[in-house]
Structure 1
């Protein structure tokens, strides 16, 4: 992406940088080098997921809890997910580790989780997740040092209830990877629509570099008050900001008024009760 003559260098304020982690600040600065017009979107308010805080121990159980959080939150409100979590913690004194959860299923105590509010399907998903971690500890430890696509593919293949989107969000919220982009997400598609509509020169450039394979968007919307770009174009838009596509993704959520701060807050609250 080429800067226009009207573009001027934009810098993050020292207050903003002081509140956020260094890698995030570095990524924001790199994004502003590519597109200074994103400064207002970046500086509008803090990014909860990237604020400086006590770094959690990245244990295997920490990652299990993040994935369990994702499963609990599927297709229900944040309040409902927190209510289920509280009932589980009240029952066991903490949220069970993957070893403890696997043991519950070995002892045929899945009904205890049902009594805490989990649906039958989510109980199956929790069993799949706990058994995967319990039976493959060393393999998962090795897996978590590999490339993003490999981690996501393995999780989707081995854990019921973890799809491509959930795997990508795990890479963002639990692994803190900064080059993740979900082109098929509704909020991202809507944000990229606003972003590209205001930048016809970028659209023209992306279209000129389009490969032979066109990925049509699966997103449908009734009001048709914004343009749905094909998924390969949205992907190429994200690629402009590699290796900091995660940050650009959060900016697109922000532009589309998608509340991802709730997701970040829920992850922090959930993993605060982690066991070793």
Structure 2
């Protein structure tokens, strides 16, 4: 069974406070980490992430509602999605690019490229490698899946703007930090970089 951030949150925060006093002060100020993995069906989680790309939350929710209306107001299975004509998906408001991405996700789910049945036995790197074979799913999307769906404890999304801004604000950089600078900070936070990331997001949102 893969480790889960929810089970380790108290150990993680104590370890982070000791390893990095600057982050530690932010932890005390913000309070206990409340990150709770959704445990959502992986196919649904990735499909939802594709539909949310480059849209406001409200617009994406409207399209998702229309899409689910085609399937008795529920998320379709991969098989159902593959059997649905593209023009019906387009009529629900899904763009052509996202239709292709959803179809590719469904294909790679049914043909075993994405082995969702054995995620617990896969490393973070393996999950990212498999997921990014799908059209429309990049490393950032796969990392968000690891954090918010699976609750993997040591994920550090170095390309996330919120993480970049959090480090900039917390450590007093004039500009967004370079990747090597971020990784140097994150080296102190292993093996609890997911919880550290959560606090960095809170640092930004607490403005």
Band the TM-score falls in, shorter-chain normalisation: 0.7 to 0.9
- For residue 172 of structure 1, the aligned residue among 125, 147, 164 is 147
- Which portions of structure 1, spanning 4 or more consecutive aligned residues, are displaced by more than 6 angstroms? none
Residue 153 and residue 70 in structure 1: after superposition, are their counterparts in 2 closer, same or farther (change >3 A)? same
Which of the two has greater helix per residue? Answer: 2
Match status 1:117 vs 2:93: yes
- For residue 184 of structure 2, the aligned residue among 236, 244, 267 is 236
CA separation in 2, counterparts of 1:178 and 1:162? 21
Can you list the C-alpha shifts for 1:187-241, whole angstroms capped at 9, x where unaligned? Answer: 111111122228xxxxxxxxxxxxxxxxxxxxxxxxxxx3222201101211210
Residue 231 and residue 243 in structure 1: after superposition, are their counterparts in 2 closer, same or farther (change >3 A)? same
For structure 2, the residue ranges without an aligned partner over 5 or more in a row are: none
Give the match for residue 80 of structure 2.
100
1:41-120 matched pairs, under 5 angstroms: 41-42=26-27, 44=30, 47=33, 49-50=35-36, 56=39, 62-93=41-72, 94-104=74-84, 109-120=85-96
1:24 touches 1:50 (CA, 8 Å); kept in 2? Answer: no
- For residue 154 of structure 1, the aligned residue among 109, 130, 133 is 130
CA separation in 1, counterparts of 2:205 and 2:181? 21
1:128 touches 1:160 (CA, 8 Å); kept in 2? Answer: yes
Match status 1:194 vs 2:180: no
TM-score (norm 2): 0.85
CA separation in 2, counterparts of 1:251 and 1:138? 31
Give the match for residue 253 of structure 1.
201
Question: Whose radius of gyration is greater, 1 or 2?
Answer: 1
Give the match for residue 210 of structure 1.
none
1:41 touches 1:254 (CA, 8 Å); kept in 2? Answer: no
What SS is found at the alignment partner of 2:109?
A: helix
**Higher RCO (C-alpha under 8 Å, 6+ residues apart):** 2
Residue 41 and residue 50 in structure 1: after superposition, are their counterparts in 2 closer, same or farther (change >3 A)? farther
Q: RMSD over aligned Cα, in angstroms?
A: 2.6
CA separation in 2, counterparts of 1:231 and 1:240? 15
What SS is found at the alignment partner of 2:121?
A: coil
Residue 90 and residue 47 in structure 1: after superposition, are their counterparts in 2 closer, same or farther (change >3 A)? farther
Aligned residue pairs total 201
